[in-house]
Amino acid sequence: MPDPVRIKVLERDGFTCRHCGWNPENGNSADRYRTLLELHHIEHHAKGGANTPENLITLCNICHDEVHRGNIAADTLTSVLKS
């Protein structure tokens, strides 16, 4: 995805995981596995989802993994994005 889109989404989301609230600056150092922020496509890119801010949400690496394992529902992320 283009860097300007990536930056816009990270700025919109306050450089914070929109699911758990973790961010790299204020993160709990005891949580050594939660190490970075990633962007997740609400509608998966492989299924035609666009690289647009409206289709992207900032998640920490742990929450992003949980989404792809099916432990966090896409509907949950959609409602967070709308709030």
Q: Where are the domains of the chain?
A: 3-82
First to last CA, the chain: 24
Q: Above 80 in pLDDT, residue 83?
A: no
Predicted confidence at residue 35, as pLDDT, reads 86
Q: What is the largest CA-CA distance in the chain?
A: 38
pLDDT tens-place string over residues 12-58: 999 999 999 999 888 666 677 888 999 999 998 888 889 999 999 99
CA-CA-CA-CA dihedral for 83, 48, 59, 21, to nearest 10: 10
* pLDDT score for 80: 82
